[in-house]
């Protein structure tokens, strides 16, 4: 076979190894699935004592179905045929007479997890790369190969719906704890453990009584609760897939073939096609920096404010040794406190959180500069202050180190005039909150060293962010397109539309947050300063000026357009949304995106769409602002 290897050991155990030809990661294409069916045919003739299914790739077990095949699902018939293929094959795998085991090392996602769930046993390998998930909802589709029935049977309906409706990943230890994996072992013993578990005859852990009730008499209550939770984040006209998952589980036992009308609705929706497009845009962003051999071990961050401190914490979380510099320990202390909370929340292991905290080192004197592979300046927006800092840092940097600024609005050409090697300065522009925003703009000034830009992209990928190369211009891409959008929103408030109604218009459009709440979150003083630079000399909206004069600066002062308490805005009910308001507000944003592409600030429309989606949260189901406009015109 082209993709599978089947060997039978002397003890009678068969080992099926998937090593998809021509790809760095395994995916379940039609050809791979057909070969697996042939493999089961062989084992029907010569039944083994047991079957272990594993990967031949270092990247992981199976990344899911072949994404490319989704793009070809242009009719309901093709969609049903795809579902039928996997449904029948994995039901066949589940029903074989001999015990089966999936050895999940590395990513085990989507169809890969559905295959593993069809095995009698699932053994998860305890290492950092092992992640199990059913992320189909992120692509606007659903787990159609048995996952919607088998996952709830293993972990209970509540945990299963949580996984399927969010696409969240589960590590090996968590998988064992919740019953998704039968065991979790370190790599050094996985071969022996797999064989022992396969032949153990060990029964699967039974669900607790309450979970059985939730899968039976209480099923409707669970489903209605899930719908309410989904409705808080996704509207059915924008994202039909999560609602389809709930309906298929509740009414059809997870069998999509029993509800062809639901499959038809997903296939006819543009959401799935656009979300697959967004997936490809994300993969393209991930590719930047791959040609660079640069790898960082130490990072030095200057400026322990909210941005600098959170950048330092994120780098430490991702395994780097980080020195954080500011004028005193008192200034650094709040950043360390926030970092401790981040590590506890993300790592959920006291020992790992302690290790991450130990990697984050206060450094008032700036001794870390000489040892750092990456130096990131994150002080206040003053050309003079940054000049003084760069003049001090450059003589102490080691050769080959990246010198970066996190400036959000200043031109690199203006900042690097004091450097003896001005071409080495790059922008590495993070967004707030650092831990949540996936995009990082990598800014290239005129005459910059291409190797330094590539190294910066490689560093951004190293810390698990998405690098977007942009040219140096005020606001770059993300801030430059947000400025006219927020300005238009505040103009609407000036003419009497309530902030709540403005926000509701854009939430209904599909934005994750309304523009007025966004202004409050960013800070009205920041919005004022950015507006002066990015709004082309337009007068500031009266509603903004009035609040800034009263020091009502938004979330950070507890009052802006909204009153804030415990990090949440207090909002009145929105009024009736005026017809055309959403288009009025989004048009200046899209116009600015088009202009930035035309000016060469971003290389092409696809990258611009990806940058605006991952940098602003622009409604992903639209495929991005330029894609949205092009298809709307058609």
Residue 432 pLDDT: 86
Tell me, yes or no, whether 250 and 369 share the same domain: no
Q: What is the pLDDT of residues 468-518, one digit of tens each?
A: 999 998 889 999 999 999 999 999 999 999 999 999 999 999 999 999 999
Quick one: DSSP state of residue 418? G
Looking at the domain assignment, is residue 331 inside a domain? yes
Annotate 218-244 with DSSP letters as a single string. THHHHHHHHHHHHHTT--TTT-HHHHH
Looking at the domain assignment, is residue 253 inside a domain? yes
Residue 535 pLDDT: 65
474, 500, 525 - which closes a domain? 474
Residue 295 pLDDT: 97
Give the residue from 33, 102, 21, 17 showing the smallest Cα distance to 65.
Answer: 33
Q: What is the pLDDT of residues 555-574, one digit of tens each?
A: 999 999 999 998 899 999 99
Tell me, yes or no, whether 212 and 351 share the same domain: no
Tell me, yes or no, whether 345 and 464 share the same domain: yes
Tell me, yes or no, whether 229 and 360 share the same domain: no
443, 459, 474 - which closes a domain? 474
Looking at the domain assignment, is residue 308 inside a domain? yes
Average pLDDT, the chain: 94
How far apart CA 337 and CA 26 sit, in angstroms, is 41
Looking at the domain assignment, is residue 206 inside a domain? yes
Residue 79 pLDDT: 86
Q: What is the pLDDT of residues 437-450, one digit of tens each?
A: 999 999 999 999 99
Looking at the domain assignment, is residue 291 inside a domain? no
Interaxial angle between packed helices 270-287 and 625-633, expressed in degrees from 0 to 180 and rounded to the nearest 10: 140
Residue whose entry in the numeric block shows the structure tokens 């296939």: 267
Residue 314 pLDDT: 98
Tell me, yes or no, whether 439 and 546 share the same domain: no
Checking if the pLDDT of 633 tops 80, the result is: no
Question: Reduced to 3 states, what is the DSSP secondary structure of residue 51?
Answer: strand
Q: What is the helix (H) or strand (E) element at residue 54, kind and residue range?
A: strand 50-55
Residue 634 pLDDT: 54
Give the total number of structural domains in the chain: 3
Residue 53 pLDDT: 98
Tell me, yes or no, whether 174 and 258 share the same domain: yes
Residues 6+ apart with CB under 8 A from 526: none
Looking at the domain assignment, is residue 436 inside a domain? yes
Whether the CB-CB separation of 111 and 64 falls below 8 Å is answered with yes
Residue whose entry in the numeric block shows the structure tokens 């905290």: 357
Residue 67 pLDDT: 86
Residue 506 pLDDT: 96
Tell me, yes or no, whether 42 and 158 share the same domain: yes
Tell me, yes or no, whether 49 and 136 share the same domain: yes
Q: Reply yes or no: is the peptide bond before residue 605 cis, omega within 30 of 0.
A: no
Residue 74 pLDDT: 75
Tell me, yes or no, whether 440 and 587 share the same domain: no
Looking at the domain assignment, is residue 75 inside a domain? yes
Tell me, yes or no, whether 391 and 483 share the same domain: no
| Averaged pLDDT for residues 16-30 | 95
Residue 536 pLDDT: 67
Annotate 57-86 with DSSP letters as a single string. -SSEEE--B-HHHHTT--SHHHHHHHHHHH
Give the residue from 583, 515, 619 showing the smallest Cα distance to 234.
Answer: 619
Looking at the domain assignment, is residue 290 inside a domain? no
Domain span including residue 247:
4-268
Annotate 573-607 with DSSP letters as a single string. PP-PPPTTHHHHHHHHHHHHHHHHHHTTSSSSHHH
Catalytic residues, which ones? Answer: 65, 111, 114, 136
Whether the CB-CB separation of 531 and 501 falls below 8 Å is answered with no
| Averaged pLDDT for residues 197-202 | 95
Residue 77 pLDDT: 85
Residue 495 pLDDT: 96
Q: What is the pLDDT of residues 63-100, one digit of tens each?
A: 999 888 877 777 878 889 999 999 999 999 999 999 99
Tell me, yes or no, whether 371 and 343 share the same domain: yes
Q: What is the pLDDT of residues 273-321, one digit of tens each?
A: 999 999 999 999 999 999 899 999 999 999 999 999 999 999 999 999 9
Tell me, yes or no, whether 121 and 218 share the same domain: yes
Pairing of strands 321-325, 298-302: parallel
Interaxial angle between packed helices 542-549 and 478-494, expressed in degrees from 0 to 180 and rounded to the nearest 10: 90
Confidence of residue 349 (pLDDT cuts 50, 70, 90): confident
| Averaged pLDDT for residues 208-229 | 93
What CATH number is attached to the domain comprising 318?
Answer: 3.40.50.720
């Amino acid at each position: 076979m082209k993709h599978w290897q089947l060997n039978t050991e002397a003890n009678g155990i068969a080992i099926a190894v998937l090593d998809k030809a021509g790809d760095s990661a395994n995916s379940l294409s039609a050809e791979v699935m057909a070969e697996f069916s042939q493999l089961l045919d062989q084992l029907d003739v010569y039944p083994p004592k047991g079957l272990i299914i594993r990967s031949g790739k270092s990247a992981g077990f199976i990344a899911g179905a072949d994404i490319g095949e989704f793009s070809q699902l242009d009719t309901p018939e093709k969609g049903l045929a795809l579902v039928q293929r996997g449904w029948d094959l994995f039901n066949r795998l589940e029903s074989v007479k001999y015990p089966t085991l999936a050895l999940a090392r590395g990513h085990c996602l989507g169809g890969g997890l559905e295959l593993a769930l069809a095995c009698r046993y699932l053994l998860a390998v305890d290492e950092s790369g092992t992640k199990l998930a059913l992320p189909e909802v992120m692509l606007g589709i659903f787990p159609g190969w048995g996952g919607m029935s088998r996952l709830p049977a293993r972990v209970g309906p509540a945990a299963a719906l949580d996984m399927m409706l969010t696409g969240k990943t589960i590590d090996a230890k968590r998988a064992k704890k919740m019953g998704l994996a039968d065991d979790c072992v370190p790599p050094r013993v996985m071969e022996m453990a797999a064989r022992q578990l396969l032949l153990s005859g060990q029964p699967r852990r039974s669900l607790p009584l309450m979970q059985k009730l939730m899968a039976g008499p209480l099923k409707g209550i669970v489903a209605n609760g899930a719908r309410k939770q989904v409705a808080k984040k996704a509207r059915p006209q924008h994202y039909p897939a999560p609602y389809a998952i709930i309906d298929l589980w509740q009414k059809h036992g997870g069998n999509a073939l029993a509800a062809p009308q639901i499959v038809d609705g997903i296939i006819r929706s543009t959401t799935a096609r656009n979300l697959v497009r967004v997936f490809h845009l994300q993969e393209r962003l991930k590719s930047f920096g791959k040609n660079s051999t640069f790898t960082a071990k130490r990072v030095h961050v200057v400026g322990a404010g909210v941005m600098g401190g959170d950048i330092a914490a994120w780098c430490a979380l991702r395994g780097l040794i980080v020195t954080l510099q500011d004028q005193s320990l008192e200034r650094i202390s709040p950043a360390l406190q926030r970092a401790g909370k981040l590590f506890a929340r993300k790592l959920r292991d006291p020992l790992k959180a302690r290790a991450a905290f130990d990697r984050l080192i206060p450094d008032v004197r700036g001794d870390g500069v000489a040892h750092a592979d990456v130096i990131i300046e994150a002080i206040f927006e003053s050309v003079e202050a940054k000049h003084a800092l760069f003049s001090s840092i450059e003589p102490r940097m080691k050769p080959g180190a990246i010198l970066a600024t996190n400036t959000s609005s200043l031109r690199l050409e203006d900042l690097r005039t004091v450097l003896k090697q001005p071409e080495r300065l790059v922008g590495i522009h993070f967004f707030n909150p650092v831990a949540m925003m996936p995009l990082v703009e990598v800014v290239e000034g005129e005459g910059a060293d291409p190797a330094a830009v590539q190294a910066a992209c490689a560093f951004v990928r190293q810390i698990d962010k998405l690098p977007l190369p942009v040219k140096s211009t005020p606001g770059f891409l993300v801030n430059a397109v947000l400025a006219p959008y927020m300005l238009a929103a505040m103009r609407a408030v000036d003419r009497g539309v309530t902030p709540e109604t403005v926000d509701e218009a854009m939430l209904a459009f599909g934005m994750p947050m309304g523009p007025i709440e966004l202004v409050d979150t960013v800070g009205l003083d920041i919005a004022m300063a950015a507006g002066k630079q990015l709004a082309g000399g337009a007068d500031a909206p009266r509603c903004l000026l009035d609040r800034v004069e009263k020091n009502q600066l938004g979330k950070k002062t507890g009052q802006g357009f909204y009153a804030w308490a415990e990090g949440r805005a207090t909002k009145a009910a929105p009024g009736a949304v005026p017809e055309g308001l959403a288009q009025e507000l989004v048009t200046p944003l899209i116009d600015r995106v088009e202009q930035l592409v035309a000016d060469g600030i971003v290389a092409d429309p696809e990258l611009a769409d990806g940058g605006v989606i991952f940098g602003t949260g622009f409604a992903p189901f639209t495929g991005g602002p330029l894609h949205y406009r092009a298809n709307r015109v058609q």
